[in-house]
Amino acid sequence: MSKLLRTPLYNWHLAHGGRLVNFAGWSMPLEYSSIIEEHKATRQACGLTDVSHMGRLRFEGPGARAFLDRTLTRRVDDLQLGQLRYSLVTNDQGGILDDVVVGCFPGELGDPVFLVVVNAANRQKILEWVRLRLPDDGEIVVSDLTTIWAMFALQGPRSGEVLRSLVDFEIQKLRRFRGAVVPLRHPARNGCRAIISRTGYTGEDGFEIIVPHGIALAVWEAIMESGEGFGIKPVGLGARDTLRLEAALPLYGQELSAEVNPIEAGLEFACDLEARDFPGAQRIREVMAAGSSRKLVCLASCGRRIARNGHVIVYGNKVVGTITSGTWSPTLERPIAMGYVERPFAAVGTLLEIEVRGHREPAEVVPRPFYRGAHPHIA
């Protein structure tokens, strides 16, 4: 078995009670105190999560913009400096290989560079997929910066207040899905710069912060110190999952896979199909025109048992779908789940049942998402 990768915060996590687990080949904290406590801190104040395991791929050169525009499902040809977009990588059949965020930032020489953040488990797959399609003219340089940069997610309604004292930038003016290369103040490490974007995976307002590996610990500790008066908590991957599920945000390997078409996942907005071609575009158009045979829905349980990935969804004696994710919602104080159901059973208000450990739990199809913060959770 290969040795697990470690983020620059590995020793900090250990020293502060982080329960480390193997996640996509990385040693990552699942929780520090409790998932529910960390979840509520993020909803009510702010939480800081180490997400350095996420892949960070940099594309530069005169051909980078055009290459990404014909590779991703969202337009890149009109992406402005400081703008980010949620997008997908699809195969020739329209199946989802990964969901990503692509951003455009000024490079060291003034030319735009593009940063694509991919899921940790898909980093090598996407790198190989990209490199197979790169032209031979040398006009595109792709760099994997995952192990030399660190990435944090500061999420929650007070996250802007926490960051304000640490950056030489009017952070409150940064709109959703916008980012900037920002100078840091002491004690975050005076003179250094960070890439900060108003993005996240929790349904709350918040920021994602990318810094060089060598200053990661200093920046992390400065954020924690700045947040002491605002109720900040370190947050593990357990609460990150319950937060994203309340916001009905899909997770690759559960809601998304190479067998899932964006239309059935409710990701039509992430496919710019007009006058564009990318892998699987024609198949996605066909599914959009005909309608998908199944849809991803939100289910609120009327019982107490928690549905999990793989549990079946039934209507009477008919199996009509499968659960992809389920959890106890600390905000709603009831079990919630997401899953794919046949289209006739996907309407809001439909009453279904979920088979959970030999019992049938009644559940209702409810509007997506379960929880909506003060800001849109995807753009």
Q: What is the 8-class DSSP label of residue 269?
A: G
**Can you give 3-65 as a three-state secondary structure string?**
CCECCCCHHHHHHCCCEEEEECCEEEEEECCCHHHHHHHHHHCEEEEECCCCEEEEEECCCHH
CB 51 within 8 A of CB 26: no
pLDDT band at 350 (very low <50, low <70, confident <90, very high): very high
Give the mean pLDDT of 202-227.
96
CB 144 within 8 A of CB 131: no
Tokens of 338: 């997401």
* Segment 250-305, tens digit of pLDDT: 999 999 999 999 999 999 999 999 999 999 999 999 999 999 999 999 999 988 89
pLDDT band at 217 (very low <50, low <70, confident <90, very high): very high
Taking the whole predicted model, whether its pTM rises above 0.85 is answered as yes
Helix (H, G, I), strand (E, B) or coil at 165: coil
CA distance 227 to 45: 9
